[in-house]
């Protein structure tokens, strides 16, 4: 590997930062830009952290595979077993804005490291749970809490900082890698659970995740690329540009402004109607995901499908998230930002159509239509939502802007898996819950139609 490629990895990252994000590097007043870099450092950061995030979240991705074995072992019905997932969603509510605030203020590295360490420990502790309450605490609080602290808003904010013009492509790569990794992990988890049991599987996965944490420490960078003498997307500064951190931050803001990206403060963002329309869509998506995804394997095994085959079918659903994530991000980079919201509308309508298909035709054919459309639809939503927020509100307070949305969605998402389990226990079918999810997806699509490009008021524009 060339010296030019390694150069950004060994420069000292310690900077003195002023409140307005200006600073200087302790290695000197400027950074050398003479050595060309074959690959922009941001791409290495994105690729490695995406893969490690997928490994760290493997058990959560396979939560539906663990659902019945854990419920049977602990003597829980489906409503009781769903409580752990609900608690995880509820705990995520305050953790997201906290993670966003800490990331905006101090950078993502130690936020990610601390969350990853807690999540890995939670997986190992799962091996020893022997009661409902210990399962709720270990899964809902320790594991899911640590996972969401490590592998969500902090890394999303980091990628948003390192990419502007190519942000859609960056998130396509990120979520494409995560989708491909998850599709490979699910059959492996299914086999491990069947052959080794869920406790041994939790221990194995916890140790694997623990071994991956050093990669986070190397590739999660605490500052924007401007602090390392780089511009977002790997763009080259004008020849002769002084590369002090202060000057590079100015150039970075000019670069983003050239792409018509306005930087909002947190207070400015929450005063716009657009922010709340986006939140309606986010609440809908997290409600459907937390309710539907946990129960998909029990739903399939109720149809007489074996657990291993059900795991493979869920992997197929995950596989279909890959093309929609890649396509959505690539298209989003090429359309005007006022049109990005319509891509989210399409993803919600596809999700609704998939759920309607299984309601109308509860056959094996209907199941495959559900898995494909659900994967294509809901798979595209999260990267597009992240991209839309970045395009609309900029990089300055991205972590807190995204984090507040989770506080809003958490109470409703908390009840979604419990409600889904309760519907099954009382009616012997998931149909009523699925109808509600289909309606919610349609409502979210309507709300996103009104998520127009926000504008800074004249008084806001005059504020520093």
* pLDDT of res. 73: 92
Interval 374-394 mean pLDDT: 85
Length of the chain in terms of residues written: 464
What six digits make up the tokens of 163? 């990419």
Integer Cα distance of 312 and 62 in angstroms: 11
Integer Cα distance of 280 and 409 in angstroms: 9
Is the model's pLDDT at 13 over the cut of 50? no
Is the model's pLDDT at 387 over the cut of 50? yes
* pLDDT of res. 20: 33
* pLDDT of res. 14: 34
Cβ neighbourhood burial of 89 (10 Å; 0-12, 13-18, 19+): buried
What's the Cα-to-Cα distance from 295 to each of 195, 290, 302, 337, 454, rounded to whole Å?
A: 22, 9, 11, 36, 37
Angle 153-162/167-196 helices, nearest 10 degrees?
A: 150
CB count in 10 Å sphere of residue 259: 14
Give the lowest-confidence range in 89-103, 163-177, 230-244, 270-284: 230-244
Give the DSSP letter of residue 430.
S
**331 assigned to some structural domain:** yes
* Mode of pairing for the β-strands spanning 23-25 and 15-17: antiparallel
- The domain of 115 spans 41-453
**206 assigned to some structural domain:** yes
H or E element: which one contains 5?
A: helix 3-10
* pLDDT of res. 116: 94
**4 assigned to some structural domain:** no
Nearest to 317 by CA among 330, 333, 343, 299: 299
Is the model's pLDDT at 32 over the cut of 60? no
Is the model's pLDDT at 23 over the cut of 90? no
Long-range contacts of 46-49 (CB under 8 A, 24+ apart): 46/159, 46/162, 46/163, 46/170, 46/173, 46/174, 47/173, 47/177, 48/215, 48/218, 48/219, 49/112, 49/155, 49/158, 49/174, 49/215, 49/216, 49/219, 49/220
Nearest to 219 by CA among 162, 144, 176: 162
Whether 398 and 160 have beta carbons less than 8 Å apart is answered as yes
H or E element: which one contains 172?
A: helix 167-196
Residue 257 belongs to a domain with what CATH number? 1.20.1250.20
What six digits make up the tokens of 389? 């927020």
What's the Cα-to-Cα distance from 59 to each of 26, 124, 139, 199, 213, rounded to whole Å?
A: 42, 11, 10, 12, 16
**284 assigned to some structural domain:** yes
pLDDT band at 126 (very low <50, low <70, confident <90, very high): very high
pLDDT tens, residue by residue, 307-338:
888 888 888 888 888 888 888 888 888 888 88
Q: Is the pTM of this model over 0.75?
A: no
What six digits make up the tokens of 114? 């601390």
DSSP codes joined into one string, 382-423 = HHHHHHHHHHHH-STTHHHHHHHHHHHHHHHHHHHHHHHHHH
CA torsion through residues 39, 391, 49, 10, sign: positive
pLDDT band at 151 (very low <50, low <70, confident <90, very high): confident
Maximum alpha-carbon separation in the chain: 72
**19 assigned to some structural domain:** no
* pLDDT of res. 422: 92
**% of the chain residues with pLDDT over 70:** 88
Helix (H) and strand (E) counts in the chain: 21, 2
pLDDT tens, residue by residue, 394-448:
877 877 887 788 788 888 888 888 899 999 999 999 999 999 999 999 999 999 9
* pLDDT of res. 316: 86
**464 assigned to some structural domain:** no
**30 assigned to some structural domain:** no
pLDDT tens, residue by residue, 347-369:
999 999 999 998 998 888 889 99
Cβ neighbourhood burial of 150 (10 Å; 0-12, 13-18, 19+): buried
What's the Cα-to-Cα distance from 202 to each of 58, 184, 206, 402, rounded to whole Å?
A: 10, 17, 6, 30
Interval 70-90 mean pLDDT: 86
Chain mean pLDDT for the chain: 82
Integer Cα distance of 346 and 38 in angstroms: 37
**462 assigned to some structural domain:** no
Cβ neighbourhood burial of 22 (10 Å; 0-12, 13-18, 19+): middle
DSSP codes joined into one string, 329-361 = HHHHTTS-GGGHHHHHHHHHHHHHHHHHHHHH-
DSSP codes joined into one string, 249-263 = HHHHHHHHHHTT---
* pLDDT of res. 439: 94
- State the total domains in the chain: 1
Integer Cα distance of 317 and 299 in angstroms: 14
Integer Cα distance of 132 and 418 in angstroms: 14
Alpha helix segments (H runs only) across 197-244: 198-219
* pLDDT of res. 215: 93
Is the model's pLDDT at 200 over the cut of 90? yes
What's the Cα-to-Cα distance from 243 to each of 64, 158, 226, 240, rounded to whole Å?
A: 50, 21, 9, 9
């Amino acid at each position: 590997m060339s010296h030019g490629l390694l150069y950004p990895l060994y420069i000292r990252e310690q900077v003195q930062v002023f409140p307005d994000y200006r600073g200087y590097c302790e290695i000197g007043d400027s950074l050398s830009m003479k050595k060309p870099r074959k690959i922009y450092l941001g791409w290495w950061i994105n690729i490695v952290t995406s893969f490690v995030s997928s490994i760290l979240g493997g058990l959560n991705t396979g939560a539906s595979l663990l659902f019945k074995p854990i419920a049977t072992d602990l003597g829980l019905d489906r409503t009781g077993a769903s409580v752990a997932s609900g608690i995880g969603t509820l705990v995520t509510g305050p953790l997201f804005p906290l993670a966003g605030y800490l990331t905006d203020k101090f950078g993502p590295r130690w936020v990610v490291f601390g969350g990853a360490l807690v999540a890995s420990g939670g997986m190992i502790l799962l091996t020893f749970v022997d009661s409902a309450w210990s399962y709720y605490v270990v899964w809902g609080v320790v594991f899911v809490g640590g996972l969401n602290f490590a592998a969500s808003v902090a890394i999303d904010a980091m990628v948003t900082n390192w990419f502007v013009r190519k942000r859609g492509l960056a998130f396509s790569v990120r979520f494409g890698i995560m989708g491909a990794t998850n599709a490979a992990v699910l059959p492996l988890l299914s086999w491990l659970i069947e052959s080794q049991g869920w406790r041994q599987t939790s221990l194995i996965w916890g140790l694997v995740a623990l071994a991956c944490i050093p990669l986070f420490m190397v590739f999660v960078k605490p500052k924007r690329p401007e602090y390392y003498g780089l511009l977002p997307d790997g763009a080259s500064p004008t020849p002769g540009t002084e590369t002090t951190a202060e000057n590079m931050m100015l150039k970075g803001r000019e670069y983003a402004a050239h792409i018509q990206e306005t930087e909002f403060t947190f207070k400015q963002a929450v005063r716009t109607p657009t922010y709340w329309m986006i939140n309606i869509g986010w609440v809908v998506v997290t409600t459907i995901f937390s309710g539907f995804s946990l129960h998909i394997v029990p739903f399939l095994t109720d149809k007489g499908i074996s657990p291993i085959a059900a795991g493979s079918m869920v992997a197929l659903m995950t596989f279909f998230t890959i093309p929609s994530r890649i396509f959505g991000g690539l298209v989003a980079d090429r359309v005007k930002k006022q049109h990005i919201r319509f891509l989210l509308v399409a993803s919600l309508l596809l999700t609704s159509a998939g759920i309607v298909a299984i309601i109308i035709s509860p056959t094996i054919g209907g199941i495959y239509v559900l898995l494909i459309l659900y994967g294509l639809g809901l798979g595209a939503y999260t990267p597009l939502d992240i991209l839309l927020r970045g395009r609309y509100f900029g990089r300055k307070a991205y972590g807190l802007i995204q984090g507040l949305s989770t506080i809003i969605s958490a109470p409703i998402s908390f009840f979604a898996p419990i409600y889904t389990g309760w519907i099954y226990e009382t009616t012997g079918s998931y149909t009523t819950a699925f109808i509600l999810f289909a309606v919610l997806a349609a409502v979210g699509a309507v709300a996103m139609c009104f998520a127009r490009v926000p504008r800074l008021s004249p008084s806001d524009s005059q504020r520093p």
